[in-house]
Amino acid sequence: MAKRHSDVAYFAMERVTDCVVLAAEKADSEEYGSLDNLRFMIGDAKTLTEYFEPHTFDRLYLNFSDPWPKAGHAKRRLTHSIYLEKYKRLLKDGGLLIFKTDNVGLFDFSIEEFEKFGLKIEWMTRDLHNSERAEGNVMTEYEKNFSEKGFTINSAIVRF
């Protein structure tokens, strides 16, 4: 995304240090060149509001978040209302949350959370790669791997 939209600033947050290091090395590789519009952060989404002022972002992307499949772990899911409150604070009025996952349980939970939170689901699909948005989709490595294994990709765009 940072390569495709060099005029847009991107911040990538991940709590696993090794993943951040690998992503930063890839972003600095010959394939991508120098991406001056991309910054990496090691941290937990719980702390997002400590780093950024309210109404900073036009969009937030949640790509293949940990599904935390056990019922007792629901509050850890990045689409739980606890996190939606944070995103509401960080997004500009009318901002978008763009969500992708291969995990059906997480997707179903997320759609319910969005609706309970009163968010408008602008678009959703249970098969992103066979949808009208497939052409403009930038695939993550997880997405490529899961797709190659036959998993369909669920996606939703939600307006705050």
- How far from the centroid of its chain's Cα atoms is residue 54's Cα? 19
Distance in angstroms (rounded) separating the CA atoms of residues 36 and 6: 8
Name the CA radius of gyration of the chain, rounded.
16
Instruction: Please indicate whether residue 66 is annotated as part of the active site.
Output: yes
Catalytic residue among 18, 28, 58, 66: 66
Do residues 95 and 58 touch, judged by C-beta distance below 8 A? yes
The residues assigned a catalytic role are 66
